[in-house]
């Protein structure tokens, strides 16, 4: 090669690979966005802070130039791999660690795994940082991160059309659909033992941090991480949260004294069916609960009660009149009913670590939970199959 060509070629190679000399660098497209051209590096110091506004620690910042390029001169030195976040903020935003977590299409952060002295390159767009994000470099866990990002986008992409009015049955169907998506997202990391990946998936199944309706996912994650990463602080935090959540299949329902509609107080176990009991948690003011009474529980009782099936209803009501009127109106007077008539201040719900309805538990004659939160035809089919045994 002629000598006069060596300098231009060298310069071209140096420019094209210049970003790679930094530990973290890349390109964020800033066109058509109201974001400030500054990238913030966030370290989530706890499991909850992983996907939560204002909780992550801001440890550095980098300017995004007119071409969208950025780089961080250095990264924290650690003896283990850690999860970090890159985030951009709207112009005028006071807090660098605000995360847009509820609307997927407005995401303003990118999670990634890093350990010094690795070099990684991240590319995305400020409009939606989790859309078409690319993470390249030496950390293999980032392949799992990008896979998880894509899986989440597939499962939780906003619907093209918004349904403005929903009846009671549709609300229960929506919850079932959400549960299916949440299980699928956690299932997508089932072959991975890394605590950081499982923690990210678990935070993404409920960005608001509400796991009351999905304690199974928290419990199974805890059990897996206790084997693979027992000493990691996030394992301890996840397992502590698991212990504060409601019952899951395999647990035993507490034998609590129940204030019955006839004025008696009776321990719940004494009222169990000989084979199967549905403990239905409801209220007279809960529209989906009332729909379930009439459309599912009445025919379920009529069909299976003589086969050893029992229903015990417990209501979050404060008005005795309203409660009993609803029982009669729904045809639910076929089965047993209890309530402390203290509204949301319920000793039973406190014991169960619950706050939301409709909810239910199917238990055997010994009080062991067999299934939970089944509704409609799914409930009917489950009961029919169980009583065939």
What separation in angstroms does the CA of 300 have from each of 246, 266, 335, 361? 25, 24, 11, 15
Residue ending a domain, choose from 139, 160, 184: 139
Residues 311 and 335: beta-carbon distance below 8 Å: yes
* pLDDT score for 347: 97
* pLDDT score for 17: 42
Whether 156 is in a domain gets the answer: no
> Residue 72 sits in which domain range?
3-139
**Do both 44 and 129 map to the same domain?**
yes
* pLDDT score for 258: 98
CATH of the domain at 47: 2.60.40
Cβ-Cβ contacts under 8 Å for 272 (sequence gap 6 or more):
310, 363, 365, 367
Residue 14 has pLDDT above 60, yes or no: no
Whether 133 is in a domain gets the answer: yes
**Do both 80 and 193 map to the same domain?**
no
**Do both 86 and 183 map to the same domain?**
no
Neighbouring-strand partners of residue 43 = 57
Residue 309 has pLDDT above 50, yes or no: yes
Mean pLDDT of 40-55: 97
**Do both 205 and 104 map to the same domain?**
no
Question: 3-state DSSP call for residue 1?
Answer: coil
**Do both 206 and 296 map to the same domain?**
no
Query: What percent of the chain is helix, strand and coil (3-state, nearest 5)?
Result: 40, 20, 40
Burial of 16 (0-12, 13-18, 19+ CB in 10 A): exposed
Residue ending a domain, choose from 243, 271, 297: 243
Whether 76 is in a domain gets the answer: yes
Whether 161 is in a domain gets the answer: no
Rounded to the nearest integer, the mean pLDDT of the chain is: 93
pLDDT digits (tens, 9 = 90+) for 249-287: 999 999 999 999 999 999 999 999 999 999 999 999 999
Whether 85 is in a domain gets the answer: yes
Q: Do strands 82-87 and 69-72 pair parallel, antiparallel, or not at all (unpaired)?
A: unpaired
Residue 318 has pLDDT above 60, yes or no: yes
d(CA 368, CA 240): 23
Cβ-Cβ contacts under 8 Å for 304 (sequence gap 6 or more):
276, 383, 384, 387
Mean pLDDT of 4-33: 64
* pLDDT score for 161: 61
At 194, the pLDDT band (50, 70, 90 cuts) reads: very high
Whether 305 is in a domain gets the answer: yes
Whether 151 is in a domain gets the answer: no
Q: Comparing C-alpha atoms, which of 174, 134, 167 is closest to residue 150?
A: 134
* pLDDT score for 7: 39
**Do both 13 and 105 map to the same domain?**
yes
**Do both 222 and 180 map to the same domain?**
yes
* pLDDT score for 33: 87
Mean pLDDT of 148-156: 96
Of the candidate ranges 161-170, 243-252, 255-264, the one whose mean pLDDT is the lowest: 161-170
Mean pLDDT of 230-238: 99
Whether 344 is in a domain gets the answer: yes
Question: 3-state DSSP call for residue 258?
Answer: strand
In the chain, the percentage of residues whose pLDDT exceeds 90 is: 88
**Do both 262 and 238 map to the same domain?**
no
**Do both 9 and 131 map to the same domain?**
yes
DSSP letter (8 states) at residue 295 = I
CATH of the domain at 339: 3.40.30.10
Residue ending a domain, choose from 211, 243, 275: 243
pLDDT digits (tens, 9 = 90+) for 102-148: 889 999 999 999 999 999 999 999 999 999 899 999 999 999 999 99
pLDDT digits (tens, 9 = 90+) for 345-364: 999 999 999 999 999 999 99
HEC string of 36-92? CCEEEEEECCCCHHHHCCCCCEEEEEEECCCCCEEEECCCCCCCCCEEEEEECCECC
Residues 310 and 277: beta-carbon distance below 8 Å: yes
C-alpha 174 chain-centroid distance:
15
Mean pLDDT of 53-80: 97
**Do both 237 and 261 map to the same domain?**
no
The predicted model scores a pTM of: 0.91
* pLDDT score for 175: 93
Question: 3-state DSSP call for residue 255?
Answer: coil
Q: How many domains does the chain have?
A: 3
Residue 27 has pLDDT above 80, yes or no: yes
At 4, the pLDDT band (50, 70, 90 cuts) reads: very low
* pLDDT score for 19: 45
**Do both 237 and 264 map to the same domain?**
no
**Do both 117 and 177 map to the same domain?**
no
* pLDDT score for 18: 44
């Amino acid at each position: 090669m002629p000598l006069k060509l060596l300098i231009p070629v060298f310069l071209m190679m140096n420019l094209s690979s210049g970003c790679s000399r930094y530990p973290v660098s890349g390109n964020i497209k800033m066109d058509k966005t109201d974001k400030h051209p500054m990238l913030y590096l966030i370290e989530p110091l706890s499991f909850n802070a992983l996907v939560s506004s204002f909780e992550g620690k801001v440890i550095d910042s980098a300017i995004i130039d007119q071409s969208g390029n950025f780089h961080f001169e250095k990264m924290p030195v650690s003896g283990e791999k850690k999860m970090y976040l890159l985030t951009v903020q709207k112009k005028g935003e006071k807090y660098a660690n605000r995360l847009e977590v509820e609307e997927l299409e407005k995401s303003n952060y990118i999670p990634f795994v890093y350990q010094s002295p690795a070099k990684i390159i991240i590319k995305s767009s400020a409009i939606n940082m989790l859309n078409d994000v690319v993470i390249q470099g030496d950390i293999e866990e980032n392949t799992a991160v990008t896979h998880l990002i894509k899986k989440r986008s597939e499962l939780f992409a906003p619907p093209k059309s918004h349904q403005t009015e929903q009846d009671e049955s549709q609300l229960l169907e929506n919850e079932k659909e959400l549960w299916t998506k949440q299980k699928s997202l956690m299932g997508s990391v089932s072959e991975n033992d890394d605590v950081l990946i499982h923690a990210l998936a678990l935070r993404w199944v409920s960005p608001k941090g509400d796991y009351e309706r999905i304690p199974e996912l928290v419990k199974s994650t805890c059990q897996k991480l206790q084997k693979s990463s027992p000493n990691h602080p996030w394992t301890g935090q996840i397992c502590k949260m698991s212990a504060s959540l409601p019952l899951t299949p395999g647990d035993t329902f507490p034998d609590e004294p129940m204030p019955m509609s006839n004025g008696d107080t009776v321990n719940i176990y004494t009222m169990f069916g000989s084979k199967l009991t549905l403990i239905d948690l409801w209220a007279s003011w809960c529209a989906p609960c009332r729909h379930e009474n009439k459309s599912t529980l009445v025919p379920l009782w009529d069909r299976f009660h003589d086969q050893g099936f029992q229903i015990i209803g417990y209501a979050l009501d404060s008005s005795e009149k309203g409660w009993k009127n609803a029982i009669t109106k729904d045809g639910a007077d076929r089965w047993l009913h209890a309530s402390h008539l203290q509204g949301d201040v319920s000793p039973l719900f406190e014991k169960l670590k619950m706050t939301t309805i409709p909810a239910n538990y199917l238990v055997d004659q010994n009080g062991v939970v067999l299934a939970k939160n089944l509704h409609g035809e799914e409930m009917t089919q489950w009961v029919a199959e169980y009583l065939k045994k």
